[in-house]
Structure 1
Amino acid sequence: MRMNRLAAAALAAALVTGCSGGAQDTAAPADTAAPAENVRLTFWNWVPGMDKVVAVWNKANPSIQVVSSTQAGGDDAATKFLTAAKAGNPPDLMQAEYQALPSFVAADAVADIKAAAEPVRQEFGEGVWGLVTLGTEAVYGIPQDSGPMMLYYRADLFDTYGIEVPRTWQEYAEAARTVRKKDPKVFLGTFSSKDPGSFAGLAQQAGAQWWSISGEAWKVAVNDEPTTKMADFWGGLVKEGVIDTMPYFTPEWNKALNDGKLLTWPSAVWAPGPLASNAPKAKGKWAIAPLPQWNAGENHTGFWGGSAVAVAAASKHQQAAAKFATWLNTDPEALGLLVKEGAIYPAATKGTSLLTEPPAYFSDVPDFWKQAAANTAGARGFTFGPNVNVAYNAYKDAFDKATADKSSFADALVEIQDATVADMTKSGFQIAQ
């Protein structure tokens, strides 16, 4: 029988699985002194140029040497890490996407590094810090990069159709109707049933909290009021026919962007890359703005993407590994190299000051990074659960059908909620009622 215990913050949080033993003491105190013997750490990651960043650390820390091992990233990397952890031979450090981190914690595969992380806590905003704590006092990684969401829009075509940049989602809906009336071949935007990460970010902006901790149990609320409100909004626009339903990152979507048939994309800070590849003819025509708000005057956003650096629970050198993880994601020289070599958007608040030149695709928007930083400050807290993959797969199934049939998006959320809870119950998690 598989057991699970998650104590809340006041109870010295720990997430444990497996009947054969109790909670492992994986807290790693800050390593303020050199180790008695040389240490060699392995770090799995997929950041371009990480070897150059690691080389700077290795030169300054001869007693703690780090070997960077490039991985594929995404679900494949997460599965590989969990397999290695189960076999007892994981790397000392692992780049973990925020949505994958809870599954690592549930598998008892990563250490609580709160003691090492506490001195750098103030380097990060509340929203991104919540992604590595799971709503507890424990800290399961040091945030590395983040994906605050913004509204990308065709400024030239907004002028053509006589529409203003929407400040609220209600204004967005009116603009969508106006565009369709003026040109039936053009849509203001599209709803993608293939991208649950985008949907999660928009839900986060609305104030959703899909997973949370209640005593020693998980509370699951994928169909909470903020998410239902957001889903009903998009479902209404789909049913009305004023936005498209083509998925992101498809040939159809690429062509629509390039040809000016899609005028907006609520996306993350990394969007200039896909836009440059998929809409080269529109370079210099796109602009950015905050996401439309649910209430006028607010300033909230969500995250789509991002990752942290976690320390393996099985590592024999947790203190040294935690020391490297904090350096990597807070030291100015390390952050500068991550920006230069890895093209990441740093999670540390001071990292944004290192981004001085706008992305080439937005060369005519000199304050691109300043606007992005303002969006990050408005990010709401959000906790991912231990079976995000199940919820995301259920999202694709439910919303594929809902968009095709133009049926209730709220009902689709109920399907995701039921699938998520059923999987967690089957896996032995205690679910709060």
Structure 2
Amino acid sequence: MSKDKSAKIATPQPVRGTQDMLGDFADRFAYVVDAFERVRRLYGFKRVEVPVIEPTAVFARSLGETTDVVSKEMYSFDDRGGESITLRPEFTAGISRAFISNGWQQYAPLKVATHGPLFRYERPQKGRYRQFHQVDAEVLGSDSPLMDTELLVFADHLLRELGVSDGVTLNLNTLGDADSRDAWRAALVEHFQAHRGDLSEDSLVRLDKNPMRILDSKDPKDRPIADSAPDIDAYLTNEAQDFFAAVTAGLDAAGVAWKRDARLVRGLDYYRHTAFEFITDRLGAQGTVLGGGRYDGLIENLGGPATPAVGWAAGIERLAMLVDAERIDNRIDAVIALEDDAALAQAQQAMALLRAEGISVEMVANGSPRKRYDKAAKIPAHALISIGMRDGALNRNVRGDNETAKRVDAILQDI
């Protein structure tokens, strides 16, 4: 059968839960990444890259087989060789795997940071996407509370650098050491067992597999029971108390405000000591903009040596939504209006000189020469350069009363 040439071809659409970026939001996104790169250098964090795909076992063993991320949200599939692989849903597991497989223990304590795309099959909502992006910072191989403080100060600095710290609160808790956590977990199980008949179905499942997660339950049926559960403080060892005191003392010394949240937990057994979230009410119900904690047992869970570690991550899209557009200067340094094609070589020479000095520049050289200046003037720039010919000689003019325009004029003196 011949094809109907008049048949309309369907316009391709993006996959649901993903997004294209251009203009204002792309500028905000880049602003977050640029700020993160500046701040991580200030704190001596090395850039690290890990693959987007990993063996599924890396995330199943790190996030827990029973968690929603593993059971419902991961993009996992068998490749042609029959191996189950997964698009990374977070950075920590991949960085921990790399730490083991590349022998990075020799560099401990290792301070690393990265950013890039992650993937989760979840219901898209404000600031949440199936392909999303995070900035991430980790310290591997140190059991010192100084590293917890360092990461928290780093995070606070980043939020201030972005101008989004107003209205953001650092909620902080301790999960204690292994002995503290085991004792608290046993007390929670006893408490929830006594109210088993009143718990929601989800919490009954958690009671057998991950009882600490009941404390996070949003089901109104669970809240009175969760709210009356014992806090961890009664079960903290002296060592755990000293660790938390050292972290909070470091925050106080650095001028970082924090609030204790004794209900802030991490359900998986490899978490220890510090747990934290930076919370805002400016993004609706999903109020966490940055979160993390200490995960001293994770690398051992993945088959590596016992290795203390601590880290945090933050969604770039969520941070970008908080950034004030007025903070972002979208202007290019300079724009050239080529008002006479006879001066093209000189205009190209000018661009080369400016770019060699680190000055961004573009040129308007198409269309009617009479209209090029007006077109160039509409492009946001710190300096407007007109290059043409007058009475057979080159005519160059730089407009702008700022420092960039003065620097441009000085560089182009010999043209």
Normalising by the residue count of structure 1, what TM-score does the alignment of the two structures yield?
0.23
Q: TM-score normalized by structure 2?
A: 0.24
**Which of 1 and 2 has higher RCO (CA within 8 Å, sep 6+)?**
1
